[in-house]
Amino acid sequence: GKYPGVGKKTLINHKKAGVNFSDPQWMGFDHPVEMILMFRSETKIKSIDIGYLADPASWIFPPEEVVISISENLKDFTEIQTLAFDGLTAMISAKPATTSITLEKKAKALKIEIKNLGGIPEWHEGKGTKAWMFLDELIFYE
């Protein structure tokens, strides 16, 4: 849509975005994101880093929740971890951030659901409208 990054591989192109949301390495979403990553063979995943932007002055907020599921047969997924983010409670300067999620699991496929903040919080001038979520890079560690 409005903030497509540099295409489908923006989140796995090994290029981190800067602090400005107009950097083409950012992908912007006003809805939850779901992605399925399939591996050639069963792969051990030690952890995943997820890069995101917090820039409430531009109506961009951290994710609300990340849900990780794995599959051993490429079709049936089992939820293995959920991470809830602490929401912002006041204005802050724009800053890129990364959250690390430890998995220590083997999988043939991985489903990552990243849920954005449903609406902008009451303390913000845009309260009640859709919040944006900007993502830049997923880094997998074996």
Q: What is the mean pLDDT of the chain?
A: 95
Mean pLDDT over residues 17-35, rounded? 96
For residue 123, the model assigns a pLDDT of: 96
Tens digit of pLDDT for each residue in 88-139?
Answer: 999 999 999 999 999 999 999 999 999 999 899 999 999 999 999 999 999 9
pTM here is: 0.94
- Sequence-distant (6+) residues with CB within 8 A of 16 are 25, 51, 96, 136, 137
Query: With helix as H, strand as E and coil as C, how does 22-83 read?
Result: CCCCCEEECCCEEEEEEEEEEEEEEEEEEEEEEEHHHCECCCCEEEEEEECCCCCCEEEEEE
Q: pLDDT class for 74, splitting at 50, 70, 90?
A: confident
